Structure 1
């Protein structure tokens, strides 16, 4: 159904609709507005990432590929960037992990890969009767590093916008 960014479904094909691009996850300490305004697409951040999770997106701007691994917050990308793209005074990521509907545990299959991979121990498992324990993410502890995303065999872990402290209360 997808090819070259064109929606080949009946309605999309007949109307010439293009598929919407997924929102890119930017490197730590960078925000979409800063990347759009200041990044020149030099790619200096790509080879210095020790985890090899930074790649240039279709616009030539840095984006993270958490499927390849996790961010260790080493700061190499921020140090090598010649433009004011990174702001180390803000939280590293504006997102936290979220468990999607494709989670094996939600479908009755025992799996705790995300919890085992989480360096912040932000993922706990709530026991339930008649099925495997369900993962729950403590958003206050989640650093947004992506370790759980890379570890999930069902690709059920996604990123979600971090709620402000006042809204959680």
Structure 2
């Protein structure tokens, strides 16, 4: 079973497959749910306007509204310690391009590649006029610019697992 978007979803503006419950603002602490009061200070402080209040009351990122610049304004506004200023390199989420990508389906589109400042997305030519997106997870910052730009909502996010060191 493929997870393609239906024409009806596109026409109704339901373009994103990203689960907003997972994408807490950068700097979210392990005990975020306990510390967060749902006051909304982080959402009001976000200059990009991508921190929104989920139905649970907790703040989440909504990449359909824009991309994260990792400015830490949300963390600086948080008085409870649920969010603390952190470098962008600590953000664990990385983009994943799904099968609903227009280019994979024979429609010329490279919007995500054009939007990616980190140059983490490239396209490999295939037969029949198609091109496959190739994502370099080491280059990807997880900012969400590709998800914001993708007309098909073919970008989702997965948490990067920390690299384990081998003990000699």
The alignment status of 1:65 with 2:65, answered yes or no, reads no
Q: What CA distance in whole angstroms lies between the structure 1 residues aligned with 2:152 and 2:39?
A: 34
SS at match of 1:47: helix
The alignment status of 1:99 with 2:97, answered yes or no, reads yes
Question: CA-atom RMSD, angstroms?
Answer: 1.9
Partner in structure 2 of residue 147 of structure 1: 145
Q: Which structure 2 residues correspond to residues 80-119 of structure 1 after superposition, within 5 A?
A: 80-88=77-85, 91-119=89-117
What is the TM-score normalised by the length of structure 1?
0.79
> Higher helix proportion, which one?
1
Partner in structure 1 of residue 125 of structure 2: 127
Contact 1:57 1:63 in 2 (8 A): yes
CA offset at residue 166 of structure 1? 4.2
Greater RCO, 1 or 2 (C-alpha within 8 Å, sep 6+): 2
Contact 1:35 1:61 in 2 (8 A): no
CA offset at residue 94 of structure 1? 1.5
Residue segments in structure 1 that go unaligned for 5+ positions in a row: 1-20
Q: 1:165 aligns with which of 145, 163, 168?
A: 163
Residue segments in structure 2 that go unaligned for 5+ positions in a row: 1-18
SS at match of 2:64: helix
What is the TM-score normalised by the length of structure 2?
0.80
Q: Which has the larger radius of gyration?
A: 1
